[in-house]
Chains A and B, each alone.
Chain A
Amino acid sequence: MSDLRVSIGGFFVLVGAIVGAAGLTADYRAPLEGANVNLYCGVSMLIFGLVMLWLAWRKSRS
């Protein structure tokens, strides 16, 4: 159902963007992990969300 693909894709694009932005702008670090966790994870989720949206778009065209 392209409805659900759109909802899920949209959700993760938004969340990925928010977390990624937190990674870029705010200086949150975890006690045991020095790497920029927010940036890595935010970008991954954003990509996942875009892939879902692309799948939904492809489905709606066929």
Chain B
Amino acid sequence: MRLALVDYLILALYFLFVLSIGWVVKRKVATSEDFLTSGRSVPVWITSLAFIAANLGAQEVIGMCASGAKYGIMTAHFYWIGAVPAMLFVGVFMMPFYYGSRARSVPEYLKLRFDEKTRALNAVTFAVMTVFSSGISMYALGLLFELVLHWSFTASVLLSAAIVLVYTFLGGLTSAIYNEVLQFFLIVLGFAPLAVFAVMKTGGWSGMGARLPQVMTHTWMYAGKAAENPMGVEVFGLVAGLGFVLSFGYWCTDFLVVQRAMAAESMSAARRTPLIAAFPKMLMPFVVIVPGIAALALSHMALGYSIPLKADGGPDYDQTLTTLMAQFYPSGMLGLGLTALMASFMSGMAGNVTAFNTVWTYDLYQGHIRKNAPDSHYLWVGRVTTIAGVALSVATAYLATHFNNIMDFLQLVFGFVNAPLFATFLLGMFWKRATGHGAFAGLLMGTAAAAATHGLTVAENKGGWLGATLHTFPSTMAQNFWIAIFAWSTCFLVTAVVSLASVPKAESELENLVYGLTRIPHEDVPWYKRPAPLALIVVAALILLNVMFW
């Protein structure tokens, strides 16, 4: 792929804007809360776009396109079952506790609701995960730009790290959030045309569908039996594993996304953030997944295009998006597409660094190292942590170059850790009787159950390291869904049992932290500014989409 001057110009313009946004925001940062939590002042349209953009890293854009080519429109389940219901739940039912507790982070909520050891467990695992995620973002960026543009890995990693460092150091969370909104628009405006042109070339949606096996353009029709669809999943595993455990475990508890809602300017804005975000989220499959399906159809037409192959002869689906761009975008839009990819990698980094920052400064440093310093000290710590966070991410990116399978390994570990979390929060927020000992034990045993399930079952030659193989799954995806189900169930049971055997906090200490002891203020606003009606509209739209693409 060759870039022309106009492409470099667009990229340079993006860097300039991103840095200037950081510089403008810096003037409003006076306290550690401004820097680390945006001082709870961000309007709802910004928080909702940042909410989905924080999660929409380049790996998702590239990965969803790859999945589109591999699995077809069933990939949309990751959005329509795997994200939207959880987003509705967190907005309507959980935000009152997150926002009302006045916790500055998710681990801090756990401390207020349970105890310090539960908070510490969550904070440490989260901090480690964010640093690794950030490093992986940079590693993927370096690899991509090396492969596609022949830029040096080191140059792209260090350049993007430097830019992210500058704008997060200056403006903190607010900078990261503003740039995430810019990134969102870049992705939509940069890739929607690709979807349009590619599908048109195959003869429109029906023309494309005619060139491919039926399963590629239907979401539910072939989901009944594992053998009938390329994902190898069946309905229960899909709905319970993906739809419930994994998606709720992520969207309802992961501080990276929840932080954006917690930065909102009011309780109503915080609750509406995930609900408003659900609208663009529902439509993202058409921007990121459909190009992949079109690419597969195009490779069946005698146009000289095919999905590149890996060294072992199998298709390299991860190159689908970039090769498709090279076919449909001339210099100009090509630069925009690459800038959109660059922007997503950088936002992925920035989002993780700012989340790491808040958790380190408030939950670990203030919680355990130095408890009663003046606020200016924590602001200083926040800034220093930004530098440390970026440095650790760069180090992780280099580590990844030495261990090829590190990405897969980390995904696995994240899965083990995330799966039980939702059970803990569900019980914590809705059952007064849940205790700190219960939560801590539940989290540990849930994670152990996840590891055990992986160790005792096999899928696509992965897993089964505990010696005996109790079951073989048709795909790693199916295995992941069932690991999640077992982990969640174990955590739920252990938390309940241990809680009943231990002493809960007094009700006066649980105000605003749990259902039944929290007052949700009723605001006198028009219906479209209230959470419940918005959620119902989202559900109706979701059902419509699922029916249309049955």
Q: Which residues of A contact B (CB under 8 A)?
A: 1, 3-4, 7-8, 10-12, 14-15, 18-19, 22-23, 26, 28-33, 35, 37-38, 40-42, 44-45, 48
**Nearest chain-A residue to B14 (Cβ)?**
A11
Q: Name the one of B20, B42, B331 contacting A22, with C-beta atoms under 8 angstroms.
A: B331
Are B178 and A44 in touch, CB under 8 angstroms?
Answer: no
B193 lies within 8 A of chain A by Cβ: yes
Interface string of B1-37 (1 = CB under 8 A from A): 0001010011001100100110010000000000000
Q: What is the minimal beta-carbon distance from A3 to any residue of chain B, in angstroms?
A: 6
Interface string of B323-344 (1 = CB under 8 A from A): 0001111111110100000000
Are A18 and B330 in touch, CB under 8 angstroms?
Answer: no
Are A22 and B201 in touch, CB under 8 angstroms?
Answer: no
Determine the chain A residues whose CB is within 8 A of the CB of B329 once the complex forms: 30, 33, 37
**Nearest chain-B residue to A35 (Cβ)?**
B197
Q: Name the one of B20, B185, B193 contacting A40, with C-beta atoms under 8 angstroms.
A: B193
Are A30 and B43 in touch, CB under 8 angstroms?
Answer: no
Number of B residues, CB within 8 Å of A: 35
B303 lies within 8 A of chain A by Cβ: yes
12 A–B pairs (Cβ distance < 8 Å), ordered by A: A3-B24, A7-B21, A7-B182, A12-B189, A15-B13, A15-B336, A18-B9, A30-B328, A30-B334, A32-B305, A32-B328, A41-B193
Are A22 and B178 in touch, CB under 8 angstroms?
Answer: no
Are A1 and B46 in touch, CB under 8 angstroms?
Answer: yes
Are A28 and B185 in touch, CB under 8 angstroms?
Answer: no
Are A4 and B178 in touch, CB under 8 angstroms?
Answer: yes
B267 lies within 8 A of chain A by Cβ: no
Are A28 and B331 in touch, CB under 8 angstroms?
Answer: yes
B181 lies within 8 A of chain A by Cβ: yes
| Pairs of residues from A and B, 3 with the lowest C-beta to C-beta distance, nearest first | A28-B330, A22-B332, A38-B332
A47 CA / B372 CA spacing, docked (Å): 52
Q: What is the minimal beta-carbon distance from A53 to any residue of chain B, in angstroms?
A: 13
Q: What is the minimal beta-carbon distance from B83 to any residue of chain A, in angstroms?
A: 24
Determine the chain A residues whose CB is within 8 A of the CB of B21 once the complex forms: 4, 7
Determine the chain A residues whose CB is within 8 A of the CB of B330 once the complex forms: 22, 28-30, 33, 37-38
A42 CA / B193 CA spacing, docked (Å): 11
A30 CA / B20 CA spacing, docked (Å): 33
Determine the chain A residues whose CB is within 8 A of the CB of B304 once the complex forms: 31
Are B332 and A4 in touch, CB under 8 angstroms?
Answer: no
Determine the chain B residues whose CB is within 8 A of the CB of A44 once the complex forms: 189, 193
Determine the chain A residues whose CB is within 8 A of the CB of B178 once the complex forms: 4, 7
Q: Name the one of B14, B17, B305, B332 contacting A42, with C-beta atoms under 8 angstroms.
A: B332
Q: What is the minimal beta-carbon distance from A54 to any residue of chain B, in angstroms?
A: 15
Are A31 and B332 in touch, CB under 8 angstroms?
Answer: no
Contact of A8 with B181 at beta-carbon distance under 8 Å, contacts A31-B327, A42-B332 already known:
yes
Determine the chain A residues whose CB is within 8 A of the CB of B4 once the complex forms: 26, 28
Determine the chain A residues whose CB is within 8 A of the CB of B182 once the complex forms: 7-8, 11
A18 CA / B42 CA spacing, docked (Å): 31
Are A33 and B331 in touch, CB under 8 angstroms?
Answer: no
Are B327 and A19 in touch, CB under 8 angstroms?
Answer: no
A7 CA / B46 CA spacing, docked (Å): 13
Determine the chain A residues whose CB is within 8 A of the CB of B185 once the complex forms: 8, 12, 48
**Nearest chain-B residue to A27 (Cβ)?**
B330
Q: Name the one of B24, B326, B333 contacting A19, with C-beta atoms under 8 angstroms.
A: B333
Contact of A15 with B10 at beta-carbon distance under 8 Å, contacts A4-B181, A8-B182, A32-B303 already known:
yes
Determine the chain B residues whose CB is within 8 A of the CB of A10 once the complex forms: 17
